Structure 1
Amino acid sequence: MRKRYRKQHVVVYPVFWPQKILEIIGRFTYRLIFWLIAFGVKTLVQIIKLLPRPRVHLAPILITIYGLLITVIGSFYWLILKDLPFPTDLVDHRPTLSTKIYDRHGTLLFTFYKDQNRSLISLDQIPDHFKAATLAIEDSQFYQHNGVSLKGILRSVKQIVFSQDLQGGSTITQQLVKNALLTPERTIKRKFKELILSMEVEWLFNKDQILGMYFNQVSYGGTAYGAEQASQTYFGKSIKEVNLAEAALLAGLPASPTTYSPFGSNPYLAVYRQHQVLNRMVEEQLIAPQEAKLAKLEKIKLAPQYTNIKAPHFVMYVKDLLARQYGVSLVEQGGLEVTTSLDWQLQQQVQNLVSQEISQVARLNITNGAALVTNPKTGEILAMVGSRDYWDTQRDGQVNLTTALRQPGSAIKPVNYAVALQSGMTAASIIQDSPVTYDIPGSKPYSPVNYDGKWHGAVTLRQALANSYNVPAVKVLATYGVGRMIDQGKIMGITTWNQPERYGLSLTLGGAEVKMTDMAVVYGTLANQGLKVNLKPILKVTDADGKTLTGFEPSPPDPVLNPNLAYLLTDILSDPIARSAAFGTRSYLNIPGHQTAVKTGTTNDKRDNWTVGYTGEVLTVVWVGNNDNSPMSQVASGITGASPIWHKIMLLLLKDQPAQKFNPPTGGENLIAVPICTMTGQLACNGCPAKTEYFIPGTEPKIACKPEFIRQLLEQKQQQEERDKILTGESTQ
């Protein structure tokens, strides 16, 4: 039979003359149903008349049965068939609508699918290994079923029953119908339409025609529609030229283009999905195991992606949140208008600061950095810089470090000390900064050391936290338990501590990975005097009809920490005198004219370097390091790495702002101020180094220190300092 090709704006497929006949018949099918019903009623009346008398008992039964039949058919027609599209509408479906992402002031950051870039290609031009990869991962029984997979339906029913999730179970034919002919909502009614239309499409078109339409119709992420455009977008070449490794990566995208995109916020998921596709090809005996192994090892070269996207890490972060809330189809095809909390002007300034500062510390083997700015009271994200340069493919610039897992170093210590203060310790409690060794079953004994390699003797909790001494922090953790710190971290905002058996006493030194976004919530809890406020990057979402959608209302503040306790931690972190022993009095941690609470963190292996600090109105988290986890220079520290960036961002944020101070909580049980001896933690006496300390009522010391004992301590301290000077002098000769 001679083929005749019809070219339309969406798909290209051959149309045979018998299909036109079937189409005409199909357009009268539903009307024909009612002709049959009417004819059936007439026939039923005649049957009743022919029944022998008395027929009083049979007539009502027949009428009831027929009435139920009419009701079922009529209901099915009214609910499902009355507005069912025709399969031939595949060439005429309405273009999808773009989703626009705006900053808080109305500046357009990015438009998803503003245009459906599509380059049509015939099925015979698509390489066999790409067809095989697609069929293996999407529909391995494509050439055996009639448009609907029984296994897929059962799996879909299971999801509906147990999770009310109407996704899954779709054949390639169903995906074609769903994307081209139906609306994206997830309802049982739409699923029925999908099943009926899929069978009709199979009646009208052969398998190769359906597969060809699918390859020209399906979305591969972003504006790339169709296999040819996807190949051009991701690899800069035709689909005819892709190898097995590239084909497997592309074939894995349609299931969730946002999640598996190599240009997304986590490109490692694209590799994970590619391996899934290759494994399925082996299982289906479409390729040999050795071919799959070689394809997995192959380094895929992606085409550069220079677009007009603003704040790309943030935009992709928001898109992921939208997809989780509303589903990928609505986000990518529903014409949403999304107003975010981002301040585009501030975003540009923060991005420039990160890029400039990282360039200046390249000598310390620091190649990347990230920054996150929030309003701790509302959780709004004002700026999100996920890397030094989003377009730097050599250093994985598209990885969003603000949502990646990194070790926080000492920046996590406030969580540990929150447990201590809850358990009865005070800011004046004395902790011995002296050598200690812990026996760890199954491991080597653990002997923590301080960052400066020194011992500082008896220090107050305030001094230990402010100067970030490691040994006192480990001793506190050993006293109250790793489990309690894990629980406290989760309460304050950490979402990644899900394997407590992995964590030991190094937890307080940053031994467990966290996200920058989580750290913003933790420190925001301190800034809010114990009220946890989750991050809120999305302010408003409207659909294509202008209707405001729900799902991103601000979460109410959650009181997770005693306000007095939260203030004590803030007061310690904002005390420049207390931290002067380690950081001096003129460090980057001080912002002239403003009181800021701040904490640094550097991992022992020099792979991560943090600074987190806040006022009551703004909070900034900064990280520097290397994406490949290579260590920074041994001279890199919180002061030389992340702190200069944090300092400049805070200067920018607080410029022209009135000076503000952290004030103790009011109402309820107020803190009390008591003069104490910093050497003993007791009430101050004559001759002791005294300081006014805050206490939660009932925890203040009741006994004063003794002058004679203080004189002895001061003499011992002076003698030790003289010995240290002598040793230092000898070591430098």
Structure 2
Amino acid sequence: MGRAEERRARQRGGRRAAPRRSSEMPSAAAGGDSVTVVGPSGTPGGRAAARRAAKAAGKGGSGKGRIRRLFTWKKILGTFLGVCLLGIGAFIALYLMVDIPKDNAAAQAAQRQSNVYKFSDGSTLARAGKVNREIVDLSKVPKPVQRTFVAAENKTFYHDNGIDLKGTARGVLNTLMGKGAQGGSTITQQYVKNYYLSQEQTVSRKLKEMVISLKVDREMSKDEILAGYINTSYYGRNAYGIQAAAQAYYGVDAKKLKVEQGAYLAALLQAPSQYDWTAASETGRKLVTARWNYVLDNMVEEGWLSQSERQGMVFPKPKEPKPTAGQEGQKGYLIDLANRQLEDQLMKQQGLSRPEAERAVVDQGWTITLNIDKKKQAALEKAVKAQLTSKLDKKKRKVDADIQAGAVSVDPKTGKVVALYGGVDYFDHYFSNATRTDYQPASTFKPVILAAALEENAETQDGKPITANTVYDGTSKRPVVKNGSKVGFAPENEDDYSYGDVTVQTAMNKSVNSVFAQMGIDVGMENVMDVAAKLGMDTSNEEAVPAQTLGTMGASPLQMAGVYATLDNHGKKVTPSIIKAAEHNSSEVALPDPIGEQVISPQSADSVTSVLTGVVDDGTARESVRGNPQRDGRKVAGKTGTSDDNKSAWFTGYTPDLVTSVGLFGEDDKPPHKQVAMYGAGGEERVNGGTFPAEIWAAYMFGVTKTDARFDLDTDQGAAVQPTWTPTPTQEPTTQEPTEEPTTKEPTEEPTTEEPTEEPTTQEPTEEPTTEEPTEEPTGRPTDDVTLDPVRPGNGQ
């Protein structure tokens, strides 16, 4: 076969044969006896050889060869370009299909509807939704004030094309991944969302926002867009637009706003409710101050404000808010909490930011049914008036003008907030005392320490299990010890009174600071704070330090009601909820179950409940609660608390069917409303948890709870199942620090833990304990503790 024929044969075989190697040629060295013949690939022998070669190659290359053939750079590049072309084509189609909606401010305002709020029985509580908006021309807003909004939200506003591609892409991706809103929108995009679209977080809405923003930027001037943005934004206090906001926060028209005030309003848009200075928490005030500084610093950076002007500016605190009509009395407090809890739910379900959630709730035609029981609400208001406000005389005692009360009542089996008291009147005190977290809960925190000790199976320094009968040294100012060394913390008991050796039960009854300070170290403060968080307290910004045993972190009556409701509910988490149902456009929002998982064991929770019955029957609340003629045999558990320098006083207690937390707060009635002491208020030498708070609690609770309800406790310790036992002290009580360092060692005679032969009661034993109380009480009212904070002086100021 000639070379031409051989070549044609190879081509017919579908592949080119490999060139002959010298080893395949006849060899003279082999004597010519062996000749290797390589047939062309088109011949049967050639094809077989080719198949064997391909098979061998496949074995040698495994899957790598196939992957390389599948993912060549040409194919990858082609796929990428194809996807890009498809995306561009889809966007062009979307751009051609989506037009700027025909809408205007009047039509938008007309779409807003009043929200209707109802009691749990369906009767109407209030209607809220009168829109406070007035459109102003941008020329009426000073140029420097205009620029505060650009500095706050979109420094490139005057130069961009209306969209932020990175921010929009991030928003779409986060929406697809269920991560919610992430910001990054331009002023144009925010204006389009506020004016033309909804607040929902969907991919289609975000794409529409981007397309409309591009068209708006082409068809409208930057001044028109900025005017639209500042006139349609929600600033809180039911104010829409800069004119309404200027009046609501500073009592002036927009044209008279100063740069400092404009910077605050611009900062406010990020979180209107959280950043409202009057109602903001300490954290909220820090955040809005930082945001205000950020705005002004950006103005300096852009050359819109000189450094010398910037340095001379002081944060412009806004004036007191004026509630809208129809929210007088307690209505405004109830509406505010309902709105906030609904916003929280929309943020979780739809991925909205806080300002987006506010805009989705306020004036949007919601029908919100509350868990508030009309009769219990009226009873709580009546109790506060009878036991507190009617006894305050501002003309006779200046301090009486500084007393604020807050209370929350929760059903422990359902988590429903059935009654709430936020202040004397929403028109007079805009900030709800029921939800404020800027005062210390003081000794109402002690049950949390005991719960942690029981849950962690903690032991004393000498290895004895901590129970209701464990004996501690109750000497005032006793140095706290850890592993034989002092930790630099020695809290004082109320009136510097020393109790000597006392059981945990007696220490809870008498609210002995020194005992619970040592117990906190024995349990481990990290464990204490962990249990506090599980029970419902906000410990996110708190340190696990010994001073926390005195209840120095901030807390609200709403939070404390939830903590004690969890104890009452045998350790199953209770998150108080004021909303029964929320409907919008015939669709109902799914609400979370207020009753959660088991956060501490039933035994731990029930043991704490058992111990807390002793506080009522033989402790700091005995005069106001135990002896109350309206009690009528009701089983009661609870704890008093009085904070540092008498700035707050508490009683949080419960029956088997209802939990109520009452707090009194000393607040200067003149701006800036600093915390003040309550000494002398209502004619009392000192306001503690056993006075007004416990009296309000009893007057309310003994009128709305069942008389035959009983605690079903899974425990063998505490005052509810056995009499209180107090050991004999080795020395007379003294206010001096002992010469010998106290220890937590138990006495030689071990206290008994046997249950009485008769049915357990909460009455005192017939035989008095061997350690008699002093013939004269340290104060004229039931003893309670005053929490002092040597580690963090000035806490809560």
CA–CA distance in 2 between the matches of 1:672 and 1:171? 63
8 A contact 1:588–1:639 mirrored in 2? no
Q: 2:100 aligns with which of 83, 86, 92?
A: 86
The equivalent position to 2:120 in structure 1, one of 81, 104, 112, is: 104
Q: Does 1:635 align with 2:717?
A: no
Distance 1:209 1:72, change over 3 A: closer
Q: Give the counterpart letter for 2:727 in structure 1.
A: M
Q: What is the Cα deviation at residue 233 of structure 1?
A: 3.4
Indicate whether 1:311 and 2:326 are aligned: no
Q: Which residue in 2 is equivalent to 1:648? A: 699
2:223 to 208, 212, 221: 208
Aligned residue runs from structure 1 range 297-308, under 5 A: 297-302=315-320, 304-308=322-326
C-alpha contact (below 8 Å) 1:430/1:680 kept by paired residues: no
The 1-side partners of 2:366 and 2:616 are apart by: 52
Q: Secondary structure at the match of 1:252?
A: helix
Q: Structure 1: state its 5+ residue gaps.
A: 1-63, 682-686, 696-709, 726-733
Q: 1:457 to 1:288 in 2, by over 3 A?
A: same
Cα distance in 2 between the residues matched to 1:111 and 1:296: 39
* Paired letter, 2:710: K
CA deviation vs aligned residue, 1:245-267 (integer Å, no higher than 9, x gap): 33223223333334334565658
Of 331, 348, 369, the residue aligned with 2:361 is 331
- Deviation per CA, 1:203-239: give whole Å up to 9, x if none: 2222222223333333333543322233233334321
Q: AA paired with 1:418?
A: A
1:17 maps to what in 2?
none
Choose which of 410, 418, 433 in structure 2 pairs with 1:382.
418
What are the residue-to-residue correspondences of 1:668-683 with 2, within 5 Å?
A: 678-679=726-727
Cα distance in 1 for residues equivalent to 2:427 and 2:311: 29
Give the counterpart of 2:438 among 390, 398, 405.
405
2:474/2:514 contact within 8 Å kept: yes
* CA distance 1:257–1:407, change in 2 (3 Å): closer
| Identity percentage of aligned residues | 28
Q: CA-to-partner distance for each residue in 1:118-170, whole Å, 9 max, x for gaps? A: 32322212212221111111222221112123464466467558873245222
**Offset at 1:602?**
0.9
Structure-1 separation of matches of 2:642 and 2:443 = 6
- 1:557-600 CA-partner distances (Å, limit 9, x unpaired): 422233233223222222368525x5555657855212211110
- The answer as to whether partners of 2:120 and 2:370 remain within 8 angstroms in 1 is yes
How many pairs does the alignment contain? 625
- 1:76-475 equivalences in 2 (<5 Å): 82=97, 84-86=98-100, 88-90=102-104, 94=108, 95-98=110-113, 99-111=115-127, 114-150=129-165, 152-153=167-168, 156=171, 164-262=179-277, 268=285, 273-302=291-320, 304-309=322-327, 311-326=331-346, 327=352, 328=357, 329-332=359-362, 334-344=364-374, 346-351=376-381, 353-354=383-384, 357-358=388-389, 360-361=391-392, 363=397, 366-392=402-428, 397-422=430-455, 423=457, 424-434=465-475, 436-438=478-480, 445-475=488-518
Deviations along 1:17-41, whole A, 9 cap, x unmatched?
xxxxxxxxxxxxxxxxxxxxxxxxx
Provide the rounded CA distance (Å) in 2 between the counterparts of 1:675 and 1:105: 43
Offset of residue 412 of structure 1: 0.8
Contact 1:576 1:585 (C-alpha < 8 Å) held by counterparts: no
Alignment check: 8 A CA contact 2:636 2:654 kept: yes
Alignment partners' CA distance in 1, 2:636 and 2:267: 48
- Which among 483, 508, 521 is matched to residue 549 of structure 2? 508
Change (3 A) 1:73 1:349: same
Rate the CA distance shift 1:344–1:256 in 2: closer, same or farther, 3 A.
Answer: farther
Write the letter of the residue equivalent to 2:235: Y
Aligned counterpart, 2:648: 608
CA spacing shift, 1:208–1:487, aligned 2, 3 Å? closer
> Does residue 619 of structure 2 align to residue 568 of structure 1?
no
Match of 2:713 among 664, 685, 689: 664
Instruction: Give the alignment's Cα RMSD to 1 decimal.
Output: 4.2
Contact 1:101–1:108 (CA under 8 A) maintained in structure 2: yes
The alpha carbon displacement at 1:613 in A equals 0.5
Q: What amino acid does structure 1 have at the position aligned with 2:641? A: G
CA distance in 1: counterparts of 2:607 and 2:146, whole angstroms: 63
Change (3 A) 1:626 1:77: same
* Aligned residue type for 1:390: Y
Q: What is the CA deviation profile of residues 396-427 of structure 1, one whole-angstrom value per residue up to 9, with x for unaligned ones?
A: x4254524132111111111122333423332
Secondary structure, in 3 states, of the residue corresponding to 1:651? helix
Which residue, out of 503, 524, 538, partners 1:481? 524
Aligned to 1:18: none
Separation (CA, whole Å) in 2 of partners of 1:286 and 1:323: 36
8 Å contact 2:445–2:550 — kept in the other structure? Answer: yes
**1:199 CA drift (Å):** 1.4
| 1:61-88 CA distance string (max 9 Å, x none) | xxx9999999768855777754x24255
Asked if the contact 2:172/2:203 (under 8 Å) is kept, the reply is no
Question: Contact 2:420–2:434 at 8 Å: present in 1 too?
Answer: no
Give, in whole Å, the separation in 1 of the partners of 2:487 and 2:80. 81
Are the aligned partners of 1:358 and 1:369 in contact in 2 as well (CA < 8 Å)?
no
**Cα-to-partner distance string for 1:316-337 (whole Å, 9 max, x where unaligned):** 2222232233232432465332
Q: In structure 2, how many angstroms separate the alpha carbons of the residues matched to 1:469 and 1:80?
A: 72
SS in 2 for 1:437: coil
Inter-partner Cα distance in structure 2 for 1:349 and 1:290: 58
Alignment correspondent of 1:705: none
Question: Does the 8 Å contact 2:610/2:719 carry over to 1?
Answer: no
The two structures have a TM-score, normalised by structure 2, of: 0.69
Letter in 2 for 1:100: V
Distance 1:65 1:564 in 2: 62
Q: For 1:68 and 1:402, how far apart are their aligned partners in 2?
A: 52
Query: Aligned in 2, Cα 1:351/1:281: closer, same or farther, shift over 3 Å?
Result: farther
- Structure 1 or 2, whichever has the larger Rg, is 2
Q: 1:123 to 1:614 in 2, by over 3 A?
A: same
| 1:449-478 Cα shifts (integer Å, max 9, x gaps) | 321433223322222212212222223223
Q: How far apart in 2 are the matches of 1:272 and 1:180? A: 29
The higher-RCO structure (CA 8 Å, 6+ apart) is 2
Shift of 1:109: 4.4
Question: CA 1:303/1:446 → structure 2, altered by over 3 Å: closer, same or farther?
Answer: closer
Name the residue aligned to 2:31.
none
Aligned amino acid, residue 480 of structure 2: Y
